[in-house]
Amino acid sequence: MKIFTPEDFQDEEELIAKTAELFIKQDVTPNISSIEQHQYEITRQLFQKAGDLGLLAIEIPEAYGGLQLNKKISGLIAEKMGYGGSFSVSYNIHAGVGTLPYVYFGNEPQKQRYLPKLASGEWIGAYALTEPEAGSDALRPKTNAILNEDGSAWVLNGEKQWITNAQLADIFVVFAKTNDGMTAFIVERTFTGVSVGQEEEKMGIKGSSTATLILEDVAIPSDNILGEVGKGHKVAMNILNMARLKLAFSNIGTSKQALQLAVNYGKERKQFQKPIIDFTMIQEKIADMATLIYGAESAAYRTAGEMDNVIELASKESMVHQIADFAMECAINKVNCSEALGKIVDEALQIHGGYGYMQDYEVERLYRDARISRIFEGTNEINRLTIAKMLYKKYAQTTFTNNAPIAYQPSENNHQYIRLSKYLMQIAIFVIVDTQINLEQEQEYMRLLADIAKDIYVMESSLLRTEKAAYEKTKPLMTDILCQEGYRKIEKSTIDIISAAETNEQIRKTWLDDIQHLNIPLHQNLFVKKREVARSIINNPKSIS
């Protein structure tokens, strides 16, 4: 199987990424302190500069002032923008959920009216789905829309909570219930009855605007329906799928930033007469951080590449349906990258010691900013439910054959880990089906299934990437780490499922004995491999980016 990897980008594509990198370094980073203090005139200026550079137009068709580039390049740009602190959040919302609804669901007049302004940065976009009583259960809004007597306009009333870019946005995609079901509306800021509440005081991403959008008898022209009446759920979920992947890429960028800070500090900080980065416990942390990034990159770019392949061949009518098929992969990447980021910023702060807890050090802000990523675009719990449901639907009706993978060559250790992991996944699903577990009532099983699927996807993506990278020494080491540690996690998850679901003691014992007798590769010395990975990262800092 061939997949797209970051090493496959062409020179001209790297130049676009370099533009984003320089924009963050030269324009955003010097202004982070001002942005954190809600000086939104600076944020708006940065949006206009980003528009001039084409960074807001990546996925917008050329006919509307865009560059019409693919998901892979969009992901690479989001990764580079991930170094931009709160501005990266504002950017992701604008370029993602604030723009893509018009690209995929807008009619021709809507595209002509809004996309050029969004591409240039003249207008800033936002997305209003969440409500005080409709967070994770977002498809049951209380905001309502009633069609007036002559059918010329809809009257909207309600509140949308925690809307990113609220103070900045010129235009909102708003979801409201109608008699026919949830519907997406285009709401311009200047419409009578539109107002924005006070800025929220947040733990992190302090420089991004977050406030309540208030709608009081707002008359929306019927022409401002996005998609179809009663089909707003299609807009919401498909756009969220793409937003989850974009967030994953942004998390990769921030993860690389945290790793770089940790390496730099570890080289400079001396204790016991030598740099702390010379201590193997610190090197282990560096290796774990780099390995998490490698797995995250491998999986995310694989998904983007596969989405591009489908989009390229899809008709206009089938494109949205084709994108929906990637809901599981987008959720996997969102969970994996956000949780990898959480671990990475935690270890980066730990390497800084007490200084990492001080606001004078950049890693302190990264630590606070990272936490929201496990909540954004659907909590990781909701995303795990999505993964598990799609996995279960795919495999629950298949016939399980109890034929464990046996023969393999020593050079195929990682292939064997993946084969065995897929076998364990089939066992887990079979046991759940056989014991008639009600997954909706016992969500712990769904959590474990989701984690199994996530770990397999990351392991396989990393191995496929490594096999394309001939003569590269560090990538195989990180793949060895990912596959060996990933298998251990999958084995434990499968054992937990069997132990909880199977009440027949003899059957349970048979399953557990079978797992213990699988032909598992001899575990390798990961201490040595991690030291080699760490030395490679320390000696070649450019390898991080």
Active site residues: 377
Full DSSP string of 47-87: HHHHHHTTTT-TTS-GGGT-----HHHHHHHHHHHTTSTHH
Token readout for 269 is 């900080």
The single residue listed with the structure tokens 């980021």 is 341
* Widest distance between CA atoms in the chain: 81
User: What letter would DSSP give residue 180?
Assistant: T
CA dist 402 and 395 (Å) reads 15
Strands (E), 150-287: 153-164, 171-178, 181-188, 194-196, 210-221, 225-226, 270-271, 274-275
**Which of 377, 367, 56 is CA-nearest to residue 205?**
367
Contact 448, 496 (CB under 8 A): yes
Contact 82, 250 (CB under 8 A): yes
CA distances from 406 to 73, 412, 415, 423, 486 (A): 40, 12, 12, 11, 19
**Which of 401, 299, 382, 304 is CA-nearest to residue 129?**
382
> What letter represents residue 382's amino acid?
I
The single residue listed with the structure tokens 């980016």 is 545
CA dist 368 and 354 (Å) reads 16
Provide the H-helix boundaries in 155-279: 232-268
Burial-class residue 428 by CB neighbours within 10 Å (0-12, 13-18, 19+): buried
Contact 185, 156 (CB under 8 A): yes
Contact 84, 113 (CB under 8 A): no
CA dist 80 and 62 (Å) reads 23
